[in-house]
Amino acid sequence: MRKELKGLVIFFGLIFLFPLLVKSPYYIGVLVFWGIYSIITLGLTILMGYAGQISLGQAGFFAVGAYTSGILTTRFGLPPWLGILAGLGLSLLLSLFLALPSLKLKGHYLAMATLGFGEIVHVVLNAWVGVTGGPSGFGEIPALSFLGWKLDSEMSFFYFTWGWVFLFFLFSLSLLKSPYGRALRSLHAEERIPLSLGVNVYFYKVFAFLWAAFYASFAGSLYAHFMTFLSPSSFTLILSILLVLMIVVGGLGNLWGALLGAGILTFLPEILRTFEDFEMLIYGTFLILVMIFLPKGLVSLRRGKVATGD
């Protein structure tokens, strides 16, 4: 654990120093997105990498967090913190309703159920025009304030977001180090094995699902108050797939992998933009190469010294 804390301090130290070196609001904005996606992938890697379940519906929970907080603060004048909490509550409730029946499914069937959830959310966002603004969305979502500090610049939001990434990383790390985390990690094996040790497999699957939904919802609320504008096109199946891709590219079942994957797949499109027509070609080739040569993700480049002892 001490080694991991050292890694954490160095990594987050570098991240927090970044805006002092690069003052471009554009790059700081991209870093904010990296932070927001990292929160989702830190949750998703617990579900997929440790508990061995799959979700193709994380964009749905991301949307629920974003819209709940956005709508409550914009239309009903609620303070943003209450909006975020309401989003979290609603996401947990929805994920529980989704998890209880569908976690009895396995593999592809679970993937389909979660995919269906993401699509339902997307349809609701488009169709429920009176509340969500429909396909054209809605704006003027108020900025967050933190301890009297109004987070209306890229720079302030950057520190705020990455502060949360740090905390969420610590939450996940301490979960994985606890007896509950060990039980969660046993879910990867054939079900009868954790069962034979008295691990309540079903409970842990539901728990991991709620955990991932919680992270995604929180990230969604941050997104809403950062962008101050929401429309359904930001919450499609493509995003859900991208999130899965992030943790796979980074390294499944590794917290560092979740951060790294989110970072690379956030920055890569920005960098590749200069290649215009070849953008997708290079992007695709990169993914294929990673899968062929580093099937355990980019973290496997640095073997042995990764979070949680994996």
Please tell me the distance from the alpha carbon of residue 7 to that of residue 264, in angstroms, as a whole number: 19
With vertex at residue 171, the alpha carbon angle to CA 21 and CA 199, rounded to the nearest 5 degrees, is: 150
* Residue 294 beta carbon to another protein: minimum distance, rounded to whole angstroms: 17
> Which positions ≥6 away from 11 have C-beta within 8 Å?
259
Nearer to another protein, 130 or 304 (CB): 304
Name which position in 2, 108, 148, 190 contacts another protein (CB under 8 A): 190
Q: Rule CB under 8 A: is residue 200 a binding residue for another protein?
A: yes
Q: Rule CB under 8 A: is residue 188 a binding residue for another protein?
A: yes
> Which positions ≥6 away from 86 have C-beta within 8 Å?
68, 69, 72, 78
Coil, strand or helix: which one is 222?
Answer: helix
Nearer to another protein, 148 or 198 (CB): 198
- Composition of the chain by helix, strand, coil, percent to 5: 80, 0, 20
CB 204 within 8 A of CB 187: yes
Q: Using the rule CB under 8 A, give the single segment among 88-96, 153-161, 180-188, 238-246 that binds another protein.
A: 180-188
Q: Rule CB under 8 A: is residue 106 a binding residue for another protein?
A: no
Q: Using the rule CB under 8 A, give the single segment among 63-71, 127-135, 190-198, 276-284 that binds another protein.
A: 190-198
Please tell me the distance from the alpha carbon of residue 40 to that of residue 169, in angstroms, as a whole number: 11
Q: Using the rule CB under 8 A, give the single segment among 1-9, 54-62, 107-115, 195-203 that binds another protein.
A: 195-203
Q: Rule CB under 8 A: is residue 170 a binding residue for another protein?
A: no
* Residue 46 beta carbon to another protein: minimum distance, rounded to whole angstroms: 15
Q: Using the rule CB under 8 A, give the single segment among 71-79, 96-104, 185-193, 214-222 that binds another protein.
A: 185-193
| Nearest by Cα to 224 from 28, 63, 89, 78 | 63
Give the binding site for another protein (CB under 8 A): 179, 182-183, 185-186, 188-190, 192-200, 253, 309-310
